[in-house]
A and B are shown apart, each in its own frame.
Chain A
Amino acid sequence: MGKVAIIGVGQSSFVRGYPGSIRELAFEGFKEALKDARITTAEIDASVICSAPEYDKQRSPSGVIAEYLGLTPQPTFYVETLCSSSSTGLRLAYSLVKSGLHKVVAVIGFQKMSEISSQESQERMGRGADIQWESPFGTMMPAYYAMYARAHMERYGTTLEDLALIRVKSSVYGQMNEKAVYRKPVTLEMFEDPQNPMSGPVASPLRVGDCCANADGSSCVIVANEEMAKSLCEKPVWILGIGAASAPVNLAGRDLFTGLSVAQRAAEVAYKMAGVGPKDIDVAEVHDCFTIAELMAYENLGFAKPGEGKELIRGRETYKEGSIPVNVDGGLLSKGHPIGATGGSQIRTIVLQLRGEAGPMQVKDPEIGLVHNIGGVGLYGNVTILGR
């Protein structure tokens, strides 16, 4: 069996209040990927549509989106693992291509979060956790991650300033990313100023500046078998390793609160499959839905030992010029986090990096990149390793 490649990537701008419907939103990322791959819809054998349900009214969105994108009568279906839906979509596309069932598969992620209010959105996301035993207490994503942040700070001496430094780094690259929703500079002083919205409490110890914003957006990744990739594409990017894992949904079923076991496990599988280790990674995209999530990712992916993630950000090692550049497109913190589109956007960034097409965000000559995409609060973990 041959290798599997990514031959085209695209994403819409991530925005607040997209002035169109979900199918029109999906079209934006798809169009860019199709142009990038220089193919037509006729060359796509199947589509995988990815989002988290209940943000819009459409049930079974794969049908309407496939129709709008001109992808009928090819098979299409829907995949969701909350915030990692499109990485799971990529895993499925990989399997479809690797099995020989399809040659070229489009993975389309989307989310139009602005159809509901921020509080309704928190309620929806909260229900991505355990609705029987946790949601009745009034849970929401920032509070769950805040529980991890508190445990990490207590155990390892990580500080609020360490977390703020991650947001400061994110803003450096967010300003360079034309598709990011938040493009203003963020400084440590903003976190220290009680009048500044960045320092406002959300769920202790996390503050407004520690949290990514809801956004509307779409992404698309086009996957092909080796033969098609070589004939269609000048710079295919190969999927070298693809790992996934799950964890108990209720925190009561878990043992680790200073990191995400799903990330550790998915990384282990992906590294083994790719035959590489953390030191071989030249550029990474990690799931920074909250600042603490990026810090834990440093450790769970093996870029730092447990408890030493803070040293990477203090030493600016995860900046573009550092030893392991992370989220040099602004990450979720600056780009915004349209749930179903996020994984595809992360994959797009690494593909552009490996092709040397990342513009002002370009890391020097990377050969191997990594994408870490988490669904829920460490419920679903996906780690994908890509190479030139």
Chain B
Amino acid sequence: MAQQKKEIDDRFKRFGTVSFTAITKVNEFVGFLEKGVLAGTICKDCGIKFFPPRADCYKCLGSNMEWFPIQGIGRLVTYSRLQYAPSGFEKEVPYSIALLDYGDFKVFGRLSPDLREEEIQLGMEMRPKVVSTPDGQLTYVFEKA
């Protein structure tokens, strides 16, 4: 009897310029990116907000998570503009990696390539925007709020 092949949810391979992970319990992260939403998870039992999103809560050991959208303004903690890139990212140089602080959590990502260097200041207000790469990968960048 022919076995029915189980469908594998490997959507996570679509995240970022080069994804090093295909399968994770938080694959819905990519489902949200497809809808233009950057999302984290919140533990329904103890209320901790997680970004990056997690499937499991290390505090209460529950796995009772729900998604929440990352909305509003975060502040730029720090960044670096790369003039040299690891293999797989050469075509994108220069680009800037950065960290935003939302108070309850922080978000690691990239600065929008449209930002001029003189516009960037630590502490500035920014918000994430979901974008796709020329190769059809999904990611997000931080824009001036």
Contacts and interface: CB of A to CB of B under 8 A. Distances in A.
Interface string B102-145: 00011111100000000000100000000000000001000000
A119 B86 contact: yes
A136 B85 contact: no
A134 B97 CA distance: 9
B18 interface: yes
A156 B37 CA distance: 36
Interface string A79-105: 000000000000000000000000000
A251 B105 CA distance: 11
Nearest to A208: B84
Given A133-B52, A251-B99, A147 B78 contact: yes
B21 interface: yes
Contacts, number: 118
Interface residues of B, number: 38
B113 to A, nearest CB: 12
B81 A257 contact: no
Interface stretch (B2-10, B59-67, B88-96): B88-96
Interface string A116-151: 010110110011001111111111101110111011
Given A135-B18, A138-B97, A150 B84 contact: no
A160 to B, nearest CB: 14
A134 to B, nearest CB: 6
A123 B88 contact: yes
A257 B77 contact: yes
Given A143-B97, A150-B122, A252 B80 contact: no
A146 B108 contact: no
A134 B19 CA distance: 10
Nearest to B110: A137
A204 interface: yes
Contacts of A157: none
A251 B86 contact: no
Given A132-B21, A250-B52, A137 B16 contact: yes
Contacts of B97: 137-139, 143, 147
B82 A140 contact: yes
Interface in A198-219: 200-206
Interface of B: 12, 15-21, 24, 51-52, 77-90, 92, 95, 97-99, 105-110, 122, 139
A150 B96 CA distance: 13
B139 A136 contact: yes
A255 to B, nearest CB: 9
Given A132-B21, A138-B17, A146-B80, A154 B122 contact: yes
A135 B97 CA distance: 10
B106 A252 contact: yes
A363 B30 CA distance: 57
A137 B139 contact: yes
A61 B15 CA distance: 33
A147 B105 CA distance: 18
Interface in A250-301: 250-254, 257
B138 to A, nearest CB: 10
Contacts of B122: 150-151, 154
Nearest to B20: A131
B85 A251 contact: no
A123 B20 CA distance: 11
